[in-house]
Copies of this chain bind each other. A is one copy, B any other.
Amino acid sequence: MNESTFLTALRSLPLHAGARGLADDTALLGDLVLTKDLLVEGIHFLATDPAADVAWKLVAVNLSDLAAKGAVPIGILLGYPLAGDDAWDRGFLAGLREGCEAFACPILGGDTVTANGARTLSLTAIGRATAPPARSGARPGDALWVTGTIGDAAAGLAIAIGGQGPPELLAAYRRPQPRLAEGQALAPHASAMMDVSDGLLIDAARMAQASGCAVTIDLAPIPLSPAYAAHAGTHREARIAAATGGDDYELLFALPPDATSPVQATRVGSFAQGAGLSLTDAGEAVTLPPRIGYQHG
């Protein structure tokens, strides 16, 4: 099965009301927000990535889900595979400490196991939120916004694999920054919010599908960093690469059409009645690329 068919099957099992039909990245339990994201060696990170960066990323990608609910982190539970490599374990613990300290998110517990082959790292993060926006709340007419810049991490992955490029892009891949403060500021205003983990296009399509809307994204305003622009260019192909690369961990959110974002962000599209994802470039219709983002399984 792939991710989508597995989730469809999983939805036929007994679900907690707080799972909201498994249509979101997080579960709600009273004012608690819970999320669980795994990183698999060779899939989400490279065996050659420094262990401290992998630990940081494990914390960051989970807290990014909390950020999308406007949550304040409470703590994390770690699932850690011991693979008989003391230096890796020490590096991991150092990066984990950095992540816990940077995001004021202490350790609650977890489990250590003996690894069998490639590492699978698991984290559960718990936060508290007063008004968590759903992924499914976008309405026809809403504008689609995104924080920060898009595409840096995907370009950084190409550098990590052995390509040439500036250290800022490599850092964007290895040390993503969960937008916790932005999420807390946005939560009371956003009609829908999620983080961009698999690619701007695929994640926007998921928000539209969950919301029962169509979404159109314009390539022209997609925010590119100076480092990305200098490295990959700003032409249409570079923008499509940025919008389908994934690992951005920026916040993607819907606001009423005439609202402005309370945090630094860029308007990249809009929702309409209907279904599906459309692409334009400065208003001109553009054919969707064959791959609009990352899908598991």
* Min distance, Cβ A94 to any Cβ of chain B, angstroms: 10
* Min distance, Cβ A196 to any Cβ of chain B, angstroms: 16
Q: How far is the CA of A137 from the CA of B106 in the complex (A)?
A: 24
Asked if A107 contacts B36 (CB within 8 A), the reply is no
From known contacts A22-B107, A108-B27, infer whether A6 and B89 are also in contact, taking CB-CB under 8 Å: yes
- Chain A's interface size range is 35 or more
Asked if B109 contacts A26 (CB within 8 A), the reply is yes
Q: Using an 8 Å CB-CB cutoff, how does the interface string of A225-249 with B read, 1 for contact, 0 for none?
A: 0000000000000000000000000
Q: How far is the CA of A101 from the CA of B173 in the complex (A)?
A: 41
Contact pick for A118, options B13, B110, B116, CB 8 Å: B116
Interface residues of A in 121-166 (CB under 8 A from B): 122, 124, 126
A35: chain B residues at CB < 8 Å are: 77, 109
Interface residues of A in 15-35 (CB under 8 A from B): 15-16, 18-19, 22, 24-27, 29, 32, 34-35
Asked if B36 contacts A116 (CB within 8 A), the reply is no
A117 at interface, CB cutoff 8 A: yes
Asked if B16 contacts A74 (CB within 8 A), the reply is yes
A81: chain B residues at CB < 8 Å are: 38, 40, 120
Asked if A34 contacts B114 (CB within 8 A), the reply is no
A14 at interface, CB cutoff 8 A: yes
Asked if A6 contacts B82 (CB within 8 A), the reply is yes
Q: Which of A41-49, A211-219, A258-266 contacts B (4 or more CB under 8 A)?
A: A41-49
Q: How far is the CA of A40 from the CA of B75 in the complex (A)?
A: 24
Q: Using an 8 Å CB-CB cutoff, how does the interface string of A1-21 with B read, 1 for contact, 0 for none?
A: 111001101101111101100
A290 at interface, CB cutoff 8 A: no
Asked if A22 contacts B109 (CB within 8 A), the reply is yes
Interface residues of A in 90-118 (CB under 8 A from B): 90, 93, 96-97, 100-101, 105-118
* Min distance, Cβ A80 to any Cβ of chain B, angstroms: 7
Asked if A15 contacts B107 (CB within 8 A), the reply is yes
Residue among A15, A16, A100 with most chain B CB within 10 A:
A16
Q: How far is the CA of A26 from the CA of B111 in the complex (A)?
A: 10
A1: chain B residues at CB < 8 Å are: 82, 86, 89
Asked if B38 contacts A6 (CB within 8 A), the reply is no
Instruction: Pick 29 A–B contacts, CB within 8 A, sort by A.
Output: A1-B82, A6-B89, A10-B93, A13-B107, A14-B97, A14-B100, A14-B105, A15-B106, A19-B109, A25-B109, A26-B109, A27-B109, A29-B75, A32-B32, A34-B77, A34-B109, A36-B109, A36-B122, A40-B116, A43-B116, A77-B124, A79-B79, A112-B296, A116-B118, A116-B120, A117-B117, A117-B118, A118-B118, A120-B122
